[in-house]
Amino acid sequence: MEIFDTIQVAVKAVNQVLWGPPMLVLLFGTHLFLTFRTGFIQRKTFKAIRLSVTKDPDSEGDISQFGALTTALASTIGTGNIIGVGTAVALGGPGAVLWCWLTGVFGIATKYAEALIAVKYRVKTKDGRMQGGAMYALERGLHMKWLAVLFAVFAVLASFGIGSMVQTNAIASVWKTNLDTPGWLVGIACGVLTMAVIFGGVKAIAKVCEKLVPFMALFYVIGCIIILCYNYDFIIPSIQTILMMAFKPGAAAGGLTGSGIMMAARYGIARGLFSNESGMGSAPIVAAAAKTRNSVRQALVSSTGTFWDTVVVCAMTGIVLVSSIMKNPGIDVGNINDGGELTSLAFAQIPYIGKAILVIGIVSFAFSTILGWAYYGERCAEYLGGRKTLLPYRILYVASVIAAPLITLNLVWDLADTFNALMAIPNLIALLLLSGVIAKETNLYINDIDRVDNAEIPGMEK
């Protein structure tokens, strides 16, 4: 285990640099900048939700808009919503919940912008498949092939971190804790199931996600609502505590101690990015495969992913955790560094079925994320080396799923943070440099909604 300890120390040192003030400013600043550049596109969220369940069958693409959205949601609604928020609270204090939520609110604009340029600069392969993402936007929109290659490399690496290892490790951890199942057995089971789906391509992945995502999200939200009913008298105090500790260094309330503004922001924003992936450039890869007549329409649909993931689910998880801590003084947050443990204690308040809700929630969330990220990694691997890379990538991906339970959880999370940051940097550069294009097409949509809904935008690239 010494080698893992050495690697973890090194990775933590790298993360201190990657997730320092410059990265927080770049990420959150991009969210704010694109919010204003798009005319506060968040105000169109409910229209976007309507569009997400509206078919666009006569358009080019591989899967439906809803299929693209649920595949993206499968990748984002994962352990970040359960264990990630718990980790943010444990290490950054209750104030981290607000920073996580704000990352989602303003991140809606970034997710919108990512999807817009992904569809605008997408290409059709010789066999008729649609491919797009930050790598194509960097290459075709900015003529920065070298940066496109870097993004694709970082995305492939990230798929093994956030996509397979973190998720499988979380599944193994919860099964071992609650059912005493050996980690190696869980790894093999997850590997076999993953292989059975991802070898069917994006249509197979989307088909599974369309069925699994609505069920898993609703199931988990019901569990959270039950806990909030138990903690009803601490809901308002918990929200007040979250707001106060987000901006007051060393603040204390209800037996909780704040970790300072920088720590709250660092873990809140990092876990917010991990959860909703706004700014990473991952979800737009599948958005580019959607059947849509124009980039603006799909961009709106894609933006709802951040709304559901962070503005709703992560916020609910944060209030559940903080209200549970305040209601149960026996929970010693100071000695908890594992977000999963904190979340388990909160769900243990539900008699008889609390554990089952959490286990089913984590397993379904994590497995769907494994599937979604397999697609992201495939597309980036294909961009780098062509179709001949698909089989080797799939084999390596399944192998990483099987091996994940043998690696310590803290190291897995730290590696995921590293890859997330490295992947986000070139994507954010693309968004900022192409913000003029994003603003121009957004204005066309806002000024003439009916025409964009029923026809192509003039001058829009295929």
Give 418-456 as a DSSP string: HHHHHHHHHHHHHHHHTHHHHHHHHHHHHHTHHHHHHSP
pLDDT at 257 over 70: no
Of the candidates 376, 383, 180, the one whose C-alpha atom is nearest the C-alpha of residue 281 is 376
Least confident of 19-33, 202-216, 272-286: 202-216
- 95-113 residue pLDDT tens: 888 888 888 899 999 999 9
**Mean pLDDT, range 352-370, rounded to an integer:** 80
pLDDT of residue 452: 44
Dist. CA 99–CA 82, nearest whole Å: 16
Q: Give the C-alpha distances (Å, rounded to integers) separating 156 from 247, 282, 380.
A: 36, 10, 6
At 305, the pLDDT band (50, 70, 90 cuts) reads: confident
3-class SS of residue 124: strand
Higher pLDDT, 12 or 250: 12
Average pLDDT, the chain: 80
Query: What share of the chain has pLDDT > 70, as a percent?
Result: 82
At 252, the pLDDT band (50, 70, 90 cuts) reads: very low
Give CA angle at 274 (268, 275), nearest 5°: 85
At 18, the pLDDT band (50, 70, 90 cuts) reads: confident
**Mean pLDDT, range 351-379, rounded to an integer:** 83
Of the candidates 65, 29, 31, the one whose C-alpha atom is nearest the C-alpha of residue 50 is 65
- 128-144 residue pLDDT tens: 788 888 999 999 999 99
Least confident of 18-27, 54-63, 109-118, 335-344: 54-63
**Mean pLDDT, range 415-437, rounded to an integer:** 90
Torsion angles phi and psi, residue 290, rounded to 5: -75, 150
Give a three-class secondary structure readout of 217-247.
Answer: HHHHHHHHHHHHHHCHHHHHHHHHHHHHHCC
pLDDT of residue 214: 75
